[in-house]
Structure 1
Amino acid sequence: MNRSTVATDRVASPRRIAALALPALVVLAAEPLYVLVDTAVVGHLGRVPLAAVAVGGTVMTLTAWLGTVVAYGTTGRAARRYGAGDRAAAVAEGVQSSWLALGVGLLVVVGLQFGGGALASALAGGGEVGAAAGQWLRVAAFGAPGLLLAAAGNGWLRGVQDTRRPLAFVVGPNLLSAVLCPVLVYPVGMGLIGSAVANVIAQTLSGVLFAAALVTERVALRPRPRVIGQQLVLSRDLLIRGVAFQASFLSATAVAARFGAAAVGAHQIAVQLWFFAALLLDALAIAAQALVGAALGAGDEAAARALARRIGRLGAICGTAFAVLAAAGAGTVPTWFSSDVAVHEQALVAWPWFAAMLPLAGVVFALDGVLIGAGDIRYLRNLTVAGALGGFLPAIWLAHAFDLGLGGIWAGLLLFTVLRLVGVLLRLRTGGWAVTGAVRSEPRSAGARV
């Protein structure tokens, strides 16, 4: 075995992948786990406060989604610079994405102070829930700058393959908030607003910690509009891709609702489990972003390709493991979420499709991470939009037209996953994604459209 082969195997080693994926998994899980604590605390205040947090939390989830877009866009760019041996330039990408995050966060604060009440009322259908949700949302909005700064910080620190600080900067504030939330809600007597204040404290503290990490790097902190503009282009493509996902899943829920309350309840159970599996598999995708970006930045195309193969296999293994667990729990898991027998029966209709999809999804999510790390965002955007418009959306509305029930909806989701799988495998085979250098530039011969 020659020296280059040994070096490539070292870059793509399972230990190195795990060293990035496992801390990322903890960071990814911290926020959902805190939301569960928050929901449990507020739930004891009564039905109206719980519904208010559900409505307001839906809006803040969109802000968290913007944060994911910023983080993913930053990781690949920072990783390329880092792989090229220029750590200062990698950190500089974090500086500019942090300015972008701060700007967007402040816009969210201002927008929700003026429009948060009306938005919450519209979502809740007015009444007590709408009024309470508006109050919660106006306070919770002040956490948006910190939330987005933390997302940008996660992006550049993953890019330079620092997994220790993101773990501390996210988990620590969330643990603090989990303690503060019941204290502020009950003994202090703030009620529902105490939950929002605890959120703001955690998110702001996390953002400050990530911003302080930038300061300690001793790089120039002034904004550079040209770089921010380049990051906006990446964010735009990731946003369009995300909108395609959102439109598809909203349509699926709308169609499921037309099949009755039991069907939409069962669909919700399966979708939330699907999202949970996606969250876990995203940890592998994040490792792929950092490692592939660094390999291409270093000019090591062979290592990037080896990483893609190994991460794809690991995705298949993880997805298959989830599928086995899902199949084993078919008769039990739905009962954790509902005591309604009709819901259980409908869940069993969706379940075979859900379990069959997981091994394929494991590969798709992992290889999505490879292409994001390579900066091949435009291709992923076009592939996702084409899969949604040409596969998922027609399939689920045909399920409605021909009364195919949940089986038809989940067959549409399987089709969407298969189309994405074929698309990413074709892209990896053609090699148009593996562009080396500290900054990605599209080769003229490599098409970026589907």
Structure 2
Amino acid sequence: MGVMADVEQSVGIRGRILSFVRAPNGAGDEGSYVYLRDGMLVIRDGRVEAIGPASELEGTLPSGAPVTRYEHELIVPGFIDTHIHFPQTQVIASYGAQLLDWLTRYTFVEEQKYSDPGHCSRGATFFLDELLRNGTTTAVAYGSVHPQSVDAFFAESEKRGTCMVAGKVMMNRNAPPALTDTAETSYADSKALIERWHKRGRQRYCVTPRFAITSTQEQLEAAGALLREFPDVYMQTHLSENLDEIAYVLSLFPDAKNYTDVYDKVGLLGPRSFFGHCIHLAEEELQRLADSRSVAVFCPTSNLFIGSGLFDLANTADAKRPVRIGLGTDVGGGTSYSMLQTAAEAYKVMQLKGQNLPPISAFYMMTRGNAEALSMGAEIGSLEIGCFADFVVLDSKATPAMLHRMETIEDLIEEELFVLMTLGDDRAVRATYVQGQKVHDRQNSS
């Protein structure tokens, strides 16, 4: 995987194509998506130039334009991960701890290595390889406290032509000295990174105070100042993940009404703000997130692995005061880079909550839904004309167990999607494309 090739030539991709047009209203909502049984994408200059039945579009291609055919696979928009930690690739699968102990024993130890630019570069290469191998073409990622981690991440993303959202972690207390900055340096470093990378090609900056425990009031105010100074950047942090965490936050901020209020007072809520986890929120906090159009990110594999709790999707999205919701892997607390596996665990969490997650809703969440949460619905997350041609080719018969199960499938949309999200993982990703260029091919992958 390397530098993007020339993307100006028109090309065709032919096969079964699925793309969502709106959020599904439950299982069986065929109006929420477009499905072409024999469809074609025409791609030029990295974007979708046309989409429709192959019989109508193949003849419109310029003479000699290449056409790639996927006869049996399913083509869907590239997956979007709205919460993941770039420096935690070697923290994943760390045994036996809940959140605060887990951070101290594993995460803070590993993240100190990102003071080394060479380590940052190697980590970024692995990280982007792994995302693309799993069909993820956009992610909202945490860097380490070191600015060079974000430089390495964006530089690697820029080479591949991917759209990534990321930021340097801000943390000035309750962490090892080698991982702390100050309110002043975190502001200055973040501002420099914004000026260097935000809207440079497809890269987007995300102001990133790790969470209230590791930031003083002064540093959180610095984060709010950055959002006011650069209103089109994003913001990410953690909120209400663990009961001990919540108690600790309230002891550090005794004047706050609740955990959400800590961030609200300094101006961190808003439509471009992503709050990871949001498991144990009171009604007043949910109302405030809804009013501010902030995004609560559901991270099921992490919540289960670290024992934090079960996200209440139905209550969070309640029509009386709906909170916008994203879906994320939260690697390395999360246990898989695969958005398919993340959706499978989300389904199980919903079952434990007495709720249900239809497969079309899950696939909407990890494509158009997450794009809408990023306010990028016109750019990514669907295969509409004008969108970047970021897509993944899925093989629902990738393993013996999947092939065996598919022999009984009659509905080649909803039942097939459920097989993919329940039994699928990186092996189900036949190929991944960014701006119409193949950046991962399972058959040629080592």
Which structure: larger Rg? 1
TM interval, short-chain normalised: under 0.3
- Flag the structure with higher helix content: 1
- Flag the structure with higher strand content: 2
Provide TM-score, normalisation by structure 1: 0.25
